[in-house]
Amino acid sequence: MNKNAAVSLQSSAAGADVAIRLSGVSKSYNLYRNKQDMVKAALHPRRKKYHTEFYALKNIDLEVKKGEVLGIIGRNGCGKSTLLKVISKVLTPTSGTVHTAGNVVALLELGAGFNPEFSGMENIYFYCSLLGYRKHETDKLVDEILEFADIGEFIHQPIKTYSSGMKARLAFAVSINVNPDILILDEVLAVGDELFKRKCYAKMEQFFQSGKTILFVSHSTSAIKQLCTRAVFLDSGEILIEGPTKLIARYYEKYLYATKENESKIKSEIIALNKNEKLKQAIYNRIEEDGDKKAVNGFLDDFESDNHTAAIDFGQEELEKTFKKEPYFIPDFEPITTQVLKNADINIIENKITTLGGKQVNCLIRDETYYYECVVKSNTEEENINISFSISTDKGFLVSRFGGKSGRIFIPKINKFEEYRIKIRFRCSLNSGTYYTSVGLQSCMNSEKNLLIRINDTLVFKVLPEENSLFSGLVTLEQEIFIENNDR
């Protein structure tokens, strides 16, 4: 996905490149005060109305191109789930037409297509048949599904005996491995423990990079801006505005944190802006020039709620150590998503994080200094070796990378059968959460950079929550605060 490409707000004419097209789509429900009114309505000879109509969707016009990643954002109850169910044919619209080109898989309600009396294995075949797969086609997917779900012998037990987590893991594994043309994702669907969550997000990343058509639902403007090429903002069943992600994120935040007195005014402003393509383009250009500064009225940080609940993910055993003042090591806390990309006979081994005193740790204290260590073992000769090291969130968002793009050479030459211990000293400015490291080597010859080896998700570590912490977001910058009275 080229995030630097020029963005045009104009929609091209519908054609063969359209994956999803909605025209005048509405979905309404009849709301009755009680069951008696429902019976009266059914039996009345003149069909007297005993109900009020509620529109979950109102006259939606939407077009999504093949290969586009469309973000859908809005408050709870705005119609996001209804829209996705209409697109995935789970719901039939009250009016309007829905066109989709290709196979659609929606990860909305995991396990909704499972039969509780069937075993996990039987449900794999049952669910795939609902998606249009024949038995011999499903046979080719089973091993990958079982490996991803990782529920062992329980696969032969009835689904009704599964825990909710096991059921969700199997459903996610089936849905994500059937290679759909159109994938509908809900950000909150990463399931299971924190290691399996990373496995889910890593699989999602593959889809985002594969050129598939994706609808991505999220409350996080950071996630929308990071992953999507375009976005729509839903409110009360209507599309208030659609366009480039930065533009939509800006106005969603402005509306979300408006005062009650200003809410209707801002909503009218957004609707008017959506009808004025020239003004929309001008504002988007200005946002790009300003470097995507925050809206003037201010808004809460996207990750604030994650930081306040970070301790929940640590498990009962680690909760006892929460708010501990010393870093420590959890045995067997290792990533299950490690990926090795190798173009030369070189290995990177003994990856670890240590304190300055040499103690291995994977639970860190914010604002303390540590070493990332590894050993480079070579069976070949290479020159001008550059080492890169990066840290990402469990969702795959890059937090920091250093070494690789700086052009700095760490090892002038590697000889056959030699070993080099690399130590990178860093201060942990990260706030509480779970993070993954990656490390790579590349040779730099005549301005050309050739990848020798890269290990993605080589380590997983936690930054422990702090008691009564006021810090939010991903990192805490070093700061000094000065307050002056201008009247003196």
Q: Phi/psi at 65 (nearest 5 deg)?
A: -80, 155
pLDDT of residue 321: 45
Which of the four pLDDT bands, split at 50, 70 and 90, describes residue 300? very low
Which of the four pLDDT bands, split at 50, 70 and 90, describes residue 242? very high
Q: What share of the chain is helix, strand, coil (3-state, %, to 5)?
A: 30, 35, 40
Q: Given the DSSP bridges, would you call strands 419-427 and 369-378 parallel, antiparallel or unpaired?
A: antiparallel
Where on the phi/psi map is residue 291: left (φ > 0), alpha (ψ -120 to 50), or beta?
left
Where on the phi/psi map is residue 268: left (φ > 0), alpha (ψ -120 to 50), or beta?
alpha
pLDDT of residue 191: 57
Which of the four pLDDT bands, split at 50, 70 and 90, describes residue 395? confident
pLDDT of residue 362: 92
Give the rounded distance of the alpha carbon of 431 from its chain centre: 19
Please write the tens of the pLDDT for every residue from 422-480: 888 999 999 888 999 999 998 887 767 788 999 999 999 999 887 666 666 788 777 77
Of residues 296 and 108, the one with the higher pLDDT is: 108
Q: Phi/psi at 285 (nearest 5 deg)?
A: -60, -40
DSSP 153: G
Q: Phi/psi at 316 (nearest 5 deg)?
A: -60, -40
Least Cα distance to 70 among 233, 181, 214, 240 occurs for: 214
pLDDT of residue 254: 86
Return the exposure string of 277-290: e unless at least 16 CB atoms fall within 10 Å of the residue's CB, then b.
Answer: eeebbebbeebeee
- The stretch 195-205 carries a mean pLDDT of 77
pLDDT of residue 351: 94
Side chain identity at residue 14, one-letter code: A
pLDDT of residue 7: 44
Which of the four pLDDT bands, split at 50, 70 and 90, describes residue 175? confident
Q: Are 232 and 73 in contact (CB under 8 A)?
A: yes
| Highest mean pLDDT pick, 40-49, 277-286, 420-429 | 420-429
Q: Residue 128, CB half-sphere, CA atoms under 13 Å: how many?
A: 24
Least confident of 50-64, 206-220, 383-397: 206-220
CA distances to 88, 225, 474 from 399, in Å: 34, 15, 8
Which of the four pLDDT bands, split at 50, 70 and 90, describes residue 52? confident
Write out the DSSP string of 302-336. Answer: TTHHHHHTGGGGGHHHHHTTTT-SS-B--TT---S
Q: Are 474 and 393 in contact (CB under 8 A)?
A: yes
Which of the four pLDDT bands, split at 50, 70 and 90, describes residue 94? very high
The pLDDT of residue 169 is above 50? yes
Which of the four pLDDT bands, split at 50, 70 and 90, describes residue 192? low
- The stretch 404-409 carries a mean pLDDT of 54
Q: Which two tokens stand for residue 358?
A: 């040499």
Of residues 304 and 139, the one with the higher pLDDT is: 139
First to last CA, the chain: 54
| Highest mean pLDDT pick, 19-33, 170-184, 294-308 | 19-33
Of residues 257 and 231, the one with the higher pLDDT is: 231
The pLDDT of residue 10 is above 70? no
| Distance separating alpha carbons of residues 214 and 70, to the nearest angstrom | 6
Q: Are 168 and 196 in contact (CB under 8 A)?
A: no
Least confident of 54-63, 81-90, 222-231: 222-231
Which of the four pLDDT bands, split at 50, 70 and 90, describes residue 406? low
Q: Which domains does the chain have, with CATH numbers?
A: 18-102+181-289 (3.40.50.300), 316-463 (2.70.50.60)
CA distances to 24, 145, 149, 173, 342 from 135, in Å: 38, 14, 20, 17, 36
The pLDDT of residue 398 is above 70? yes
| Highest mean pLDDT pick, 12-26, 198-212, 270-284 | 270-284
Of residues 29 and 488, the one with the higher pLDDT is: 29
Of residues 39 and 123, the one with the higher pLDDT is: 123
- For residue 21, what are the contacts with CB-CB under 8 A and spacing of at least 6? 14, 62, 63, 64, 97, 98, 99
Of residues 452 and 304, the one with the higher pLDDT is: 452
pLDDT of residue 437: 93
Which of the four pLDDT bands, split at 50, 70 and 90, describes residue 97? very high
Q: Which two tokens stand for residue 54?
A: 């509620």
pLDDT of residue 347: 92
The pLDDT of residue 4 is above 50? no
Return the exposure string of 360-373: e unless at least 16 CB atoms fall within 10 Å of the residue's CB, then b.
Answer: ebbbbbbeeebbbb
